[in-house]
Amino acid sequence: MTDLTVSNDTDRKEETRLQPGVSAKVRKPVSDAVSGWLMSLPMAGVLVFFLVLPIIMIVVVSFWGATEFSIYPAFVFDNYEFLLTSPVTYSVFLNTVKYALITWALTLGIGFTIAYFLAFHVRSLTWQIVLFLLCTIPFWTSNIIRMISWIPFLGRNGIANSALISLGVVDEPLDWLLFSDFSVILAFVHLYTLFMVVPIFNTMMRIDRSLIEAAYDAGASGFQTLTNVVLPLTKPGIMIGSIFVITLVMGDFITVRFMSGSQKANVGRLISNDIALLQYPSAAATAVILLITVLIVIATLLRFVDIRKEL
Amino acid sequence: MAKSLDLELAAVTKKYGTTVAVEAISHRFQAGSYSCLLGPSGCGKSSTLRMIAGHEVVSEGDILLGASNVTDLPPARRGTAMMFQSYALFPHLSVIDNVAFSQKMKGVDKSSRLKKARELLELVDMAAFAARLPEQLSGGQQQRVALARALITEPSVLLLDEPLSALDPFLRIKMRLELKRLQRELDISFIHVTHSQDEALALADDIIVMNNGRIEQAGSPRDVFESPATEFVARFIGGHNILESRGAPFALRTDRLQVAKTGAESGDSLAATVRDVEYLGATVNLALETGAGSDLTAALPDGLFFQDPIEIGSTVFLSWKPEDAHHLAG
């Protein structure tokens, strides 16, 4: 009997569930709990190996020591001390948060409008699907290509400037179009608006159309329906989209590097520069601080809305 | 509450492209009456209700409420209110905020709109649930809230779109009594769309039977049940057999069919084979097949049946009194 503990256990559970005198005809060899764990094992394994272990590794390395030409295992706080006392860190983090906030606000405004149009103004499902797919077309090319294609457009002698000059809007080329905060944020908005559109559109499609009619029946104007019914019911989608956009922007380094012509910095670039200089412990410490920052932002967002309702 | 007014449909038509959903129907709904639009799905009853509510554009014709033409007014300015089939309560608002919604839209200040909403909740006996969210309520409770939300606009006509279809049969009968009581107390018109003839017979002062976008028959429940005008009405309202005599169809109530074990086939008597016997408590239904191949039903009182039970497969002879046969148009 001792080697059959698992099935024994199962039997006892079965018996308590059944009426006395009725015995289970089919004996399950493995309990639900055990099979559940077994089934989640492959995914859990992948996550442990490719997510948890690397993060542990980064945390460990962030306490290592480094000189100009070597790194050595240790448990020192030098990296964090340097990071947290340097004014550069704060200005770079501030810049990262600034990019994230402005991009978030713009993608939210644009994304909500697109999703609202698709969900409530396009009546036929066919057109909804066609227009939705149209939104995804930019995703058929890579990030980098989409980013780089802005450069000839926004450059000093680019299409935008020549068009503005020939229209007589400006007399001389605008310098701030490229290699500026403007171009960085423009690229971010271009790259990430769809991440806002998809979850918001998804939530909006689940709103019962009779609610809109009920609001109309109760005398609500279009704008009142938007603010009193559609917006509150779309909150979970807005939150999911916000998490996507904020984490993507805060973790980005390549967009900032290309679109600012290496003139602007965010945390991602700080890390990538450290890595280029083989300063792994310092890069790891910055990464840990960034991870904590992003987690705090997400935790704050989740306090506002229960996104579990969406899943 | 607002004064009840007559509602009149004048040749109201609804077209979707080339299909005609409602074809030039005219009817006067008396002030303070309970009317049921009855018909199978796709007969145009819901479109009619939605046109009265203002959620559907009228293609042709006019809708008059009292002395004013409301055909092109928005829903909230017509003096009607609608209770939706699935109740359409706002899931993010508490019960009391749901009821107060239309007042909030009008810009009524918070304390007076909540006070009014509370009165309405008391009317439907839901004041204890004011702070709950709709998802925390049962179907019947949600319906009461939806009712309160519709009534807060003080409508002269309340429109109900299949209000009982989402409830289980037991609750349906309970809520049906409550709707009728509320209508009597408020003394406003209720127009109720349903596909259930039981519901229509039990509730309505006035039944409007619709088919293919037209009114087949309108009248009191007794008129409609005792003398159905057309074959469609006789079949839809139930409890009738359709027979034919000299090429003209006539309706005969299933409980007016007399069943004898012996007899002879003559002018007013038919031989039939018993195909099935259904015991329904107070009555026993016999499914009968006549020589001509038509199926009839005979509803016998249980006492009569069990005095002399009839076996499945046996042959019986059917007769009826001439005054029970109602001739049908076309």
Question: Mind listing the pLDDT tens digit for each residue in A214-246?
Answer: 999 999 999 999 999 999 999 989 999 999 999
Span A134-161, average pLDDT: 86
Mean pLDDT of chain B: 89
CATH code at position B246: 2.40.50.140
What are the structural domain ranges in chain A?
2-49, 88-310
**Is residue B122 assigned to a domain?**
yes
Average of pLDDT values for B257-282? 80
Chain A closest CA to B11's CA: distance in Å? Answer: 24
**Has residue B232 been placed in a domain?**
no
Residue A285 pLDDT greater than 60, yes or no: yes
- Count: domains in chain B: 2
pLDDT digits (tens, 9 = 90+) for B180-212: 999 999 999 999 999 999 999 999 999 999 999
Range of weakest confidence among A103-117, B55-69, B264-278: B264-278
* Contact assignment for B76 to A215 by CB distance below 8 Å: no
Alpha carbon distance A220, A211 (integer Å): 11
- B93 with B208, same domain: the answer is yes
Domain contains B137: yes
Q: Where are the alpha helices (DSSP H) in chain A?
A: 5-17, 32-47, 53-61, 78-85, 87-116, 125-136, 143-148, 150-154, 159-167, 181-205, 209-217, 222-225, 231-251, 254-259, 267-276, 280-304
* Residues comprising chain B, all counted: 330
How big is chain A, counted in residues?
311
Q: B167, B199, B226: which is the final residue of a domain?
A: B226
Residue B266 confidence class, pLDDT cut points 50, 70, 90 = low
A79-134: pLDDT as tens digits = 899 999 999 999 999 999 999 999 999 999 999 999 999 999 988 889 999 998 88
Q: What is the pLDDT of residue B181?
A: 92
B204, B226, B248 - which closes a domain:
B226
Indicate whether B173 and B45 sit together in one domain. yes
Residue matched to tokens 């964090």: A80
Tell me whether residues B153 and A211 touch, CB distance under 8 A: no
CATH class held by domain A88-310: mainly alpha
| Contacts of residue B220, Cβ cutoff 8 Å, sequence gap at least 6 | B204, B205, B206, B207
Residue B142 covered by a domain: yes
Instruction: Name residue B38's beta-bridge partners.
Output: B194, B209
> Would B116 be classed as within a structural domain?
yes
For residue A89, report the phi and psi dihedrals to the nearest 5 degrees.
Answer: -55, -50
Give the pTM: 0.80
Q: Which of residues 26-55 of B touch A (CB under 8 A)?
A: 53-55
Asked if the structure places residue B233 within a domain, the reply is: no
Is residue B139 a contact partner of residue B162, using CB atoms and an 8 Å limit? no
B200 and B100 within one domain? yes
**Full residue range of the structural domain in which residue B253 is found:** 240-327
Chain A hits for B150, Cβ within 8 Å: 217
Residue A16 has pLDDT above 60, yes or no: no
In a domain, B176, yes or no: yes
- Of the candidates A214, A219, A233, the beta carbon closest to that of B88 is on A214
Question: Which candidate from B75, B91, B92 shows the least CB-CB separation from A217?
Answer: B75
Shared-domain flag, residues B295 and B185:
no
Is the same domain home to B80 and B185? Answer: yes
CA B219, B220, B226: angle at the middle one, nearest 5? 95
Residue A14: per-residue pLDDT: 43
Where among B194, B226, B258 does a domain terminate? B226
A230 min Cα distance to partner chain B (Å):
10
Q: Indicate if B268 and B212 belong to the same structural domain.
A: no
Examine residue B118 and state whether it is found in any structural domain, yes or no: yes
Mean pLDDT over B52-67 rounds to 92
Q: Are residues B186 and B66 in the same domain?
A: yes
CB contacts of B89 in chain A (<8 Å) are: 214
Interchain CB distance below 8 Å, A219 and B86:
no
Asked whether B205 and B19 are in contact (CB, 8 A), the reply is no
- Who contacts B152 (Cβ-Cβ below 8 Å, separation ≥6)? B99, B100, B102, B103, B116, B117, B120
Q: Which of residues 91-110 of B touch A (CB under 8 A)?
A: 91-92, 101-102, 104-106
Same domain for B266 and B212: no
Across the interface, whether the CB atoms of B88 and A210 are under 8 A apart is answered yes
- Say whether B81 and A217 touch across the interface (CB within 8 A): yes
* Average pLDDT score over chain A: 86
- Closest-CA distance of chain B to residue A213, Å: 7
Contacts of A220 in chain B (CB under 8 A): 101-102, 105
Question: Which amino acid, residue B178?
Answer: E
- Determine the Cα–Cα distance for residues A250 and A99; give it in Å rounded to an integer: 8
- Give tens-digit pLDDT for B120-129: 999 998 999 9
**Residue-level pLDDT at A225:** 94
- Is pLDDT above 70 for B253? yes
B82/A229 touch (CB, cutoff 8 Å), yes or no: no
Share of chain A above pLDDT 70, in %: 88
Residue B232, C-beta contacts closer than 8 angstroms, at least 6 positions apart: B209, B211, B216
Where residue B36 sits, what CATH number does that domain have?
3.40.50.300
Backbone angles phi, psi at A163, to 5 degrees: -65, -45
If asked whether residues B94 and B185 sit together in one domain, one would say yes
- Do B55 and A229 make contact, defined as CB atoms within 8 angstroms? no
Same domain, B193 and B296: no
Q: Which residues of A touch B (CB under 8 A)?
A: 208, 210-211, 213-221, 224, 228-229, 232-233
- DSSP string spanning B221-271? HHHHHHS-SBHHHHHHH-SEEEEEETTEEEEEEGGG-EEESS----TTEEE
Same domain flag for B79 and B49: yes
In the DSSP assignment, the letter for residue A26 is: S
The lowest-confidence range among A18-27, A104-113, A166-175, B155-164 is A18-27
Same domain, B164 and B267: no
